[in-house]
């Protein structure tokens, strides 16, 4: 096989993949008349669901980021027994079917479980509540954040942290002023991935909190109740918003950190 | 005063078996040894970044061994300066300062930068700085943390040779102002130039310790002997380009062009010293006449000591020894070029 044929085959493969991604979306754009799209934007149910989805995903991301950032640092820096097992457990949400994850979470927070009773005594109810949505989103998307942050911390040369400790700075302050800023690119990009993944979640949410409806659930609801014609504009609008947010966040993380010396 | 007592550590094939040393308060202590001798590990142990298997470290009477790194007050300069890339030079220097008002912090940072000659770089980022500039930022930053002891890990290895002399002067003056220094290096020139006390480490063990002249005059290991078996090594005063050894002030040696005045160590490698029976008509500017004091066999030839007003040592082969029929008591000339005189400030 000569070089040209080789390149041709590779390019053809790439073109096919791009077409596979872009064609359905373009088809959707063509089949959605503009007035229908504007009608959809004005539909309060749609607007509320988009707002709910975006805010829930932001809360889930911030919550996980806050709790797991130190853990990600520890996973990057320390070695301990069963570390591989721990890393495997963190990856678990990626490999289990999300509806199954939803069932598992439901079992954990249902009214007859200990956690469920405890939460409802505090006035928090996960089922059919935004708290359940946040929980489902956090569960299925946290590996994206932790793994990216862990990679980020691992890429920071340890001598920077050592130098800061040596200068008399406490470990917590070293973490906040040296480790986190130097790993910030990975951390932010992990957060963006987690946010995007959380927004698009359907399987776990539909089981834990069918109502209030996040946009993926609303799309499913409209499709199953009214058909393709009614689901399509909502789907298109949600895709546009997702892409816009994704691009915006990618722009924010563009500038590379210089770690030369 | 830093006291290190019986430090032991082992990992992999490397081991340190009971290192003892003490650095007095006014000492510039240089630990000289080949790569992999355990020098950096020892500094990391003192700084608390690596835990020893056993042993004790005390600084000014205070036990450091169990203290976390950020409470030890021992400033460490790494071989590759760990200047924080996400902060400006000024921010780097301000970073360790705690508990003083903001304007005082800035004034202190400026003073330190001036002392290191990097005042003009304060507002710049660190990405474009040279190795020497980065190392000076690291030094200013370490001094801003007001350490009780300065640990230097091959701090000059990544720096141009002309800048090295300048930085050495800087390090020496810091020490003279009362900061004890423990400096590790594999560079004998650096060791000679800076040490008030010199120790030699090999395979995780300190094998020799003393004033630099003592260590170099009686090398206790092959590593030192490789350059220190050199006996034409002495302190000298340089004035107007002329070198006079401190112990033989009447002798004048011509050194390479453009050497600076002042006190320095001088090294003339014995393989650069030429012996001849006749009055030499050579290009060498240094020619000394005297009797052969001794002929010592070496692994690869002989070392001949020629007396006269000052002893010089020449390394020659057996063939040359026989050709010149050299024996103790015979008078001959020892000659060497001005350019083979190494001057170490």
Query: Residue B182 sits in a domain of what CATH number?
Result: 3.40.50.300
- Is B168 found in the same domain as B277? no
Residue B26 pLDDT more than 90? no
For B33, the token pair is: 């040894």
Question: Between A and B, how many CB-CB pairs are < 8 A?
Answer: 79
Considering only CB atoms, which chain A residues are within 8 Å of B127?
258, 260
Contact yes or no for A258 and B127 at CB 8 A: yes
Mean pLDDT of A159-180: 96
| Closest alpha carbon within chain A to B135 | A261
* Region A123-149 average pLDDT: 91
Strand order across the beta sheet in which B205-210 lies: B74-77, B149-153, B181-185, B28-32, B197-202, B205-210
Using beta carbons and an 8 Å cutoff, which residues of B are at the interface with A? 47-49, 68-76, 78, 80-86, 95-96, 98, 125-127, 129, 134, 138, 141-142, 144-145
pLDDT, residue B219, reads: 62
Within this chain, do residues B164 and B294 fall inside the same structural domain, yes or no?
no
Pair (B261, B159) in one structural domain: no
What pLDDT shows up at residue A48? Answer: 94
Beta-bridged to residue B328, according to DSSP, are none
- Model confidence at B79, in pLDDT bands (50, 70, 90)? confident
Domain boundary residue, one of B228, B255, B288: B228
- Reading the block at residue B196, the tokens are 């008030």
Using omega within 30 degrees of 0 as the cis cutoff, is the peptide bond preceding A212 cis?
Answer: yes
Strand order in the sheet with B2-11: B14-23, B2-11, B54-59, B62-63
Token readout for B18 is: 């009971």
pLDDT in tens, B299-337: 678 888 898 888 888 988 888 888 888 888 899 999 999
**CA A128 – CA A80 distance, rounded (Å):** 40
**Of A162, A167, A259, Cβ closest to residue B85:** A259
Pair (B8, B100) in one structural domain? yes
The tally of domains found in chain B comes to 2
Q: Do B85 and A169 touch (CB under 8 A)?
A: no
d(CA A104, CA A89): 15
Q: Which two tokens stand for residue A123?
A: 């006035």
Name all domains of chain A by residue range, CATH numbers in brackets. 41-252 (1.10.3720.10)
* Nearest chain A CA: its distance from B164 CA (Å): 19
CATH code, B306: 2.40.50.100
For range A6-12, the mean pLDDT: 91
Q: Say whether both B144 and B257 belong to one domain.
A: no
3-state secondary structure of A196: helix
Q: Which residue has the higher pLDDT, B63 or B160?
A: B63
Distance from CA of A181 to the nearest CA of B (A): 7
Provide the 8-state DSSP code for B119: G
Closest CA relative to residue A58, chosen from A170, A171, A196: A196
Q: Which residues of B touch A172 (CB under 8 A)?
A: none
d(CA B166, nearest CA chain A) in Å: 22
Do B255 and B238 contact (CB within 8 A), yes or no?
yes
CA A252, CA B178: separation in Å to the nearest integer?
49
Number of other CB atoms surrounding residue B274 within 10 Å:
18
CA nearest to B113, candidates B85, B83, B144, B84: B144
Query: Could you tell me the pLDDT band of residue A163, with boundaries at 50, 70 and 90?
Result: very high
On chain B, the residues whose CB falls within 8 A of the CB of A164 are: 84, 95
B197 and B136 within one domain: yes
Rounded mean pLDDT, B88-111: 94
The Cα B54–Cα B8 span in angstroms is 5
* DSSP at B184: E
How do residues A14-29 score in pLDDT, each as one tens digit? 999 999 999 999 999 9
Of B228, B262, B279, which one is at a domain's C-terminal end? Answer: B228
Nearest to B171 by CA among B29, B4, B22: B29
Q: How far apart (Å, rounded) are the C-alpha atoms in residues B292 and B302?
A: 13
Q: Are B162 and B300 contained in the same domain?
A: no
Of A157, A166, A182, Cβ closest to residue B86: A182
A157 backbone φψ class: left, alpha, beta (φ>0; ψ -120 to 50): beta
Asked whether residue B11 falls in the same domain as residue B48, the answer is yes
**Could you say which of B69, B84, B127 has the minimum Cβ distance to residue A165?**
B69
Domain identity same for B259 and B196: no
pTM of the model: 0.77
pLDDT band at A57; cut points 50, 70, 90:
very high
CB atoms A261 and B83 under 8 Å: yes
**Rounded CA gap, A42 and B271, in Å?**
93
Inter-chain CB proximity B82 and A167 less than 8 Å: no
Domain boundary among B228, B260, B282: B228
Per CB-CB distance under 8 Å, the chain B contacts of A182 are 84-86
Output the CA–CA distances (angstroms, integers) from residue B205 to B7, B31, B208, B261, B281, in the order listed.
Answer: 10, 11, 9, 38, 49
Q: In this predicted model, what pLDDT tens digit does every residue of B142-161 receive, in sequence order?
A: 999 999 999 999 888 877 77
**How large is the angle between the packed helices A98-109 and A130-155, nearest 10 degrees?**
120
Rounded distance, CA B134 to CA B178, Å?
Answer: 24
Q: Which residues of A touch B41 (CB under 8 A)?
A: none
Range of the domain at B336: 233-344
Name the average pLDDT for chain B: 87
- Residue B264 and residue B125 in one domain: no
Report the pLDDT value the prediction gives residue B223, as an integer from 0 to 100.
59
Given this model, what pLDDT does residue B229 score?
Answer: 57
For A196, the token pair is 């995007």
Same domain for B40 and B184, yes or no, is: yes
Chain A interface residues facing chain B, Cβ-Cβ under 8 Å?
157, 159-160, 162-171, 174, 177-178, 181-182, 257-261
Q: How many CA atoms lie within 13 A of B153 on its CB side?
A: 25
CB B18 within 8 A of CB B6: yes
Q: What is the pLDDT of residue A149?
A: 96
pLDDT for position A260 = 40
Residues B199 and B112 in one domain: yes
Contact (CB<8Å) B95/A162: no
């Amino acid at each position: 096989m000569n070089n040209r044929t080789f390149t041709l085959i590779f390019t053809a493969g790439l073109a096919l993949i791009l077409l596979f991604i872009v064609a359905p979306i373009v088809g959707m754009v063509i089949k959605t008349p503009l007035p229908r799209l504007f009608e959809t934007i004005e539909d309060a149910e749609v607007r509320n669901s988009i707002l709910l989805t975006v805010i829930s995903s932001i809360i889930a991301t911030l919550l996980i980021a806050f709790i797991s950032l130190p853990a990600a640092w520890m996973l990057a820096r320390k070695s301990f027994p069963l570390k591989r097992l721990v890393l495997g457990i963190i990856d678990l949400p990626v490999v289990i079917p999300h509806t199954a994850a939803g069932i598992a979470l439901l079992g954990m927070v249902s009214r007859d479980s200990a956690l469920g009773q405890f939460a409802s005594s505090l006035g928090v109810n996960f089922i059919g509540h935004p708290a359940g949505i946040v929980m489902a989103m956090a569960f299925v998307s946290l590996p994206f954040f932790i793994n990216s942050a862990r990679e980020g911390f691992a890429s920071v040369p340890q001598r920077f942290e050592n130098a800061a400790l040596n200068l008399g700075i406490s470990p917590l302050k070293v973490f906040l002023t040296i480790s986190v800023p130097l790993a910030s690119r990975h951390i932010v990009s992990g957060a963006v991935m987690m946010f995007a993944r959380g927004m698009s979640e359907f399987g776990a949410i539909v089981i834990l909190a069918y109502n209030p409806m996040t946009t993926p659930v609303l799309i499913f609801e409209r499709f199953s109740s009214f058909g393709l014609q009614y689901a399509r504009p909502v789907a298109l609008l949600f895709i546009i918003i997702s892409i816009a947010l994704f691009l915006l966040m990618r722009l924010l993380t563009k500038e590379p950190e210089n770690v030369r010396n | 005063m830093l006291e290190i007592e019986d430090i032991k550590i082992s990992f992999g094939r490397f081991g340190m078996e009971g290192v003892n040393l003490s650095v007095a308060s006014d000492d510039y202590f240089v630990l000289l040894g080949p790569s992999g001798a355990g020098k950096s590990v020892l500094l990391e142990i003192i700084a608390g970044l690596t835990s020893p298997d056993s042993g004790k470290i005390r600084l000014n009477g205070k036990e450091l061994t169990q203290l976390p790194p950020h409470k030890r007050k021992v400033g460490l300069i790494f071989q590759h300066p760990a200047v924080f890339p996400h902060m400006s030079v000024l921010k780097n220097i301000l970073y360790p300062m705690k508990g003083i008002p903001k304007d005082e912090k800035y004034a202190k940072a400026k003073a330190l930068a001036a002392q290191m000659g990097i005042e003009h770089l304060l507002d710049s980022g660190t990405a474009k700085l040279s190795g020497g500039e980065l190392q000076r930022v690291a030094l200013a930053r370490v001094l801003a943390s007001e350490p009780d002891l300065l640990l230097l890990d091959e701090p000059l290895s990544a720096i141009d040779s002309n800048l090295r002399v300048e930085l050495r002067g800087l390090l020496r003056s810091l020490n003279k102002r009362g900061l004890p220094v423990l400096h590790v290096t594999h560079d004998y020139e650096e060791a000679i130039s800076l040490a008030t006390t010199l120790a030699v480490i090999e395979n995780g063990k300190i094998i020799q310790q003393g004033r630099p002249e003592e260590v170099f005059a009686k090398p206790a290991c092959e590593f030192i002997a490789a350059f220190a078996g050199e006996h034409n090594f002495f302190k000298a005063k340089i004035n107007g380009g002329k070198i006079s050894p401190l112990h033989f002030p009447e002798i004048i040696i011509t050194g390479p062009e453009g050497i600076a005045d002042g006190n320095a160590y001088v090294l003339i490698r014995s393989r650069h010293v030429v012996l001849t029976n006749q009055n030499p008509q050579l290009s060498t500017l240094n020619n000394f006449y005297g009797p052969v004091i001794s002929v010592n066999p070496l692994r690869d030839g002989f070392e001949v000591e020629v007396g006269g007003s000052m002893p010089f040592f020449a390394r020659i082969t057996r063939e040359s020894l026989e050709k010149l029929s050299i024996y103790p008591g015979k008078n001959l000339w020892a000659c060497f070029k001005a350019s083979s005189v190494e001057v170490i400030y």
